[in-house]
Chain A
């Protein structure tokens, strides 16, 4: 064989040596993770697991090259487009989607015999559908697609072209994957947590907690009622829940240490809801590093990231409204568009988030960077600034990312000779003062509105059960409605996890969930694998004339 290969490839002396080494490695197929291979010089198990995880999630070999595979018999693919996780998901528990069934590949399932089941009940008299995998039979499966019982896998499963070293790394990772229930979970209980900063008003705190506490209590009353334990567990109704309230004190810089301390003392499986007056970033970072899912925290300042994995937000908050303003303006008729785009940004979290979302999206669409004027808190808009808005023949388009002070500014805009073409404001940042907008200014003021319009919300009639002794009004009612979206999602997720209480499975299940179009406030909450912001658009609205103005849509649901 060596002669033939040598003849084919005309190897140099060095390559000959390499060939011998390669053949030696090839023939010693029994060598495994604990064997002599030290890919990339990494010797410790944690290093091997990291490399295995990269193969599994990204399709990248320890060498940095993409994994190679063949799908459907003859479609050659690179592992980066066809990663293990892309079908079997991060947890390795597989999925069913579009009629394609992907079986589990986690350690617990692979390394024990696959029992025969009939209608979810084990058939003890039948032989296992396949024996437990060994490292060798698993390697054979990954390369040739044949399991130890001789069954060929479907041809959608890629056949991976892996050498022994890389195979050993991947198998080491698969052994560890979803092999033990995650912290905070047992077969029959799950501990949830919710994070509240102590400066949140009692009204908001109660509004956030009302439905989560009700859910936990209702679930616990239900647990154990069913005499059919197996079936009940499958339906998650046997599950008991507990809720830890993690109260954060002092400045946000100290939150991380407090969160770590809480988690050491009483680890939670996942966080649900949560509310702070500040940014969510310290909690986001804590969740990322500790691999703790966090479902729908109530925040307008989420971390906007392409790679964040563990926190599922309702939207990108103010950032998303800025994004939508850019998209709307990009698609607006040329006649409407102004000559230049100017951002007037109050130097606050709200102003900065709106401006960041607008600017990033506007630049991505190929436009020039907008001129930006920062306003210090308390600083007013000068007359000189208004004069400066008339650039060239067309008036400017102004993104006025300011709070209630914007109403005064808009009044002077409306009475100025240098009226802007269009002004965009954010409804949430203006709050109730939005409805005090000067009548003349309403004509050129476009408002970002991230929820269903009030009259549509009334028509939609989303059912929210009552919580005894709890009634909320105004902004607290909004907090309650926003938090309520946690409940149907959590109910379905716990059910569909089917007892596989692994944190990654929690996220995987949500990723495969049907869209929710019956949630309060939001038109549509939808995830997909890896999607982390459920509501993805915004309306652009204007106020009608007259003493009792109402909002009217000037756009569809702006998403592009």
Chain B
């Protein structure tokens, strides 16, 4: 009995919550630039323990999005990952058409098991990979994307989107809402 009541209440409350004007019409709070990066030739490890040559993985005809996160992060990463999860939901059945890559900045803790549990938590579908590696290799990847932080606790909310056409990366510094993220993806040719 308790469950249906609570479900109905959730619906009711969500309606009133939206009526109360939760959504706000703020402009984008993030910084967008277009950059060229050379992806380093490093071998990383994915959530299944497989070895992945990063350059080969990213050298794809598909649009690519890269973010730097870590598995136990409590602030930025859950938001970035919720964005990935929403994008995948909007991609339809073929989620592999966009390559989503999360690269850890806490390689010592983010083992394949930690990463695969993380992806499960966000209901990740095929097409979203979480990569770890040696600290030296991870540092090299961060540096290549001008995203280096010496310590995971000083990380930045960065998103890199590469459209298929010119190979350049859209660098977004700041947290986006889903609609802003979707709009950036659309601009990069992701449908």
A557 CB-CB contact with B under 8 Å:
yes
Q: How many residues of A contact B (CB 8 A)?
A: 69
How far is B104's CA from A526's CA once the two chains are assembled, in angstroms? 15
Whether B38 is near chain A, meaning CB under 8 Å from some CB there, is: no
A161 contact set on B, CB distance < 8 A: 10, 13-14, 17
Among A22, A71, A512, A559, contact of B107 (Cβ-Cβ < 8 Å): A559
A65 and B6 contacting across the interface, CB-CB below 8 Å: yes
Contact A97 B153 (CB under 8 A): yes
Q: Mark A549-560, 1 if CB is under 8 A from B, else 0.
A: 000000011011
Contacts of B5 in A (CB 8 A): 18, 21-22, 25, 163
Contact between A536 and B109, CB atoms less than 8 A apart: yes
Within the complex, the shortest CB–CB distance from A158 to chain B, in Å, comes to: 10
Contacts of B151 in A (CB 8 A): 514-515
Q: Are B82 and A159 in contact (CB under 8 A)?
A: no
In contact, B133 and A528 (Cβ under 8 angstroms): no
Look across to chain A and name the residue whose beta carbon is closest to the beta carbon of B182.
A74
- Of the listed stretches B59-67, B94-102, B171-179, chain A binds B171-179
Distance between B14 CB and nearest chain A CB, rounded to angstroms: 5
Does A68 sit at the interface, judged by CB under 8 A? yes
Instruction: Assess whether B24 is interfacial by the CB under 8 Å rule.
Output: yes
Out of B1, B9, B26, name the residue touching A26 (CB < 8 Å): B9
Quick check: A97 and B76 within 8 Å, CB to CB? yes
Cβ B10 vs Cβ A100 within 8 A: no
When the two chains form their complex, are residues B13 and A162 in contact, meaning their CB atoms are under 8 A apart? yes
| Bound CA–CA A72/B82 (angstroms) | 10
Complex contact A100–B9 (CB within 8 A): no
B93 within 8 A of A: no
Question: Across the interface, which residues of B come within 8 angstroms of A528, CB to CB?
Answer: 70, 72-73, 106, 109, 152-153
A163–B82 touching, CB < 8 Å? no
B24 touches A72 (CB 8 A): no
Whether the Cβ atoms of B24 and A99 lie closer than 8 Å is no
Residues of B within 8 A of A44 (CB): none
Q: A366 in the interface, Cβ–Cβ < 8 Å?
A: yes
Tell me which residues across on chain A come within 8 A of B70, comparing CB atoms: 528
Q: Is the CB of B45 within 8 A of A560?
A: yes
Q: How far is the CA of A76 from the CA of B14 in the complex (A)?
A: 11
A73 to B49, CA, bound (A): 36
**Residues of B contacting A345 in the complex (Cβ-Cβ under 8 angstroms):** none
Q: Pick the contact of A143 from B13, B73, B111 — CB < 8 Å?
A: B13
Assess whether B57 is interfacial by the CB under 8 Å rule.
no
In the complex the two chains form, is B82's CB within 8 Å of A82's CB? yes
By CB atoms of chain B within 10 A, which of A21, A61, A144, A524 has the most? Answer: A144
Partner pick for B10 among A68, A514, A529, CB 8 A cutoff: A68
Q: Is the CB of B3 within 8 A of A63?
A: yes
CB distance from A150 to the nearest CB of B (A): 12
Which residues of A513-543 are within 8 A (CB) of B? 513-515, 524, 526, 528-531, 536-537
Structural contact, A40 and B108, CB atoms closer than 8 A: no
When the two chains form their complex, are residues B22 and A145 in contact, meaning their CB atoms are under 8 A apart?
Answer: yes
B23 adjacent to A73 (CB under 8 Å) = yes
A531 in contact with B86 given A73-B23, A97-B153, A159-B17 (CB within 8 Å): no
Tell me if A559 and B74 are in contact (CB < 8 A).
Answer: no
Contact check, B152 vs A99: say whether CB atoms are below 8 A apart: no
Please measure, in the bound complex, the distance between the C-alpha atom of A155 and the C-alpha atom of B6, giving whole angstroms: 25
Residues of chain B contacted by A74 (CB below 8 angstroms):
23, 177-179
Contacts of A61 in B (CB 8 A): 6
Tell me how far the C-beta of A100 lies from the nearest C-beta in chain B, rounded to whole angstroms. Answer: 4
CA distance A135 to B121 in the complex (A): 31
In chain A, what residue has the closest Cβ to B8? A22
B187 CB-CB contact with A under 8 Å: no
- Residues from chain B with Cβ under 8 Å of A253 in the complex: none
B6 adjacent to A63 (CB under 8 Å): yes
In the complex, chain B residues 71-120 whose Cβ is within 8 Å of any chain A Cβ:
72-76, 78-79, 81-83, 86, 106-109, 111-113
Q: Which residues of the other chain, B, contact A330 by a CB distance below 8 angstroms?
A: 49
A514 and B155 alpha carbons, distance in the complex (Å): 11
Could you tell me the distance between the alpha carbons of A166 and B26 in the complex, rounded to whole angstroms? 31
Task: Judge whether A144 and B20 touch: CB under 8 Å.
Answer: yes
B23 cross-chain contacts in A, Cβ below 8 A: 73-74
Interfacial chain A residues near B175, Cβ < 8 Å: 72, 156
Question: When A26-B13, A75-B177, A164-B9 are in contact, do A87 and B75 touch as well, CB less than 8 Å?
Answer: yes
* Contact across chains for A364 and B82 when beta carbons are under 8 A apart: no
In the bound complex, what is the Cα–Cα distance between A77 and B133 (angstroms)?
29
CB distance from A23 to the nearest CB of B (A): 8
Which of B10, B26, B133 has the most CB atoms of chain A within a 10 A radius of its CB? B10
A88 to chain B, nearest CB (A): 9
Check if B2 sits within 8 Å of A39, measured CB to CB.
yes
Q: Could you give 12 example pairs across A and B, Cβ below 8 Å? A: A21-B5, A72-B178, A75-B83, A80-B121, A89-B74, A95-B75, A143-B13, A144-B17, A526-B152, A531-B72, A537-B108, A559-B111
Q: When A and B form their complex, which 10 residue pairs have the shortest distance between CB atoms, in order from nearest? A: A163-B9, A72-B177, A536-B108, A528-B72, A100-B75, A98-B76, A97-B75, A22-B8, A144-B20, A75-B178
Binding site for A on B (CB under 8 A): 1-6, 8-10, 12-14, 16-17, 20-24, 26, 45, 49, 70, 72-76, 78-79, 81-83, 86, 106-109, 111-113, 121-122, 132-136, 151-157, 175-179
List chain A positions with a Cβ less than 8 A from chain B.
15, 18-19, 21-23, 25-26, 39-40, 61, 63, 65, 68, 70-77, 80-82, 86-87, 89, 95, 97-100, 102, 143-146, 152, 155-156, 159, 161-166, 330, 364-366, 511-515, 524, 526, 528-531, 536-537, 556-557, 559-560
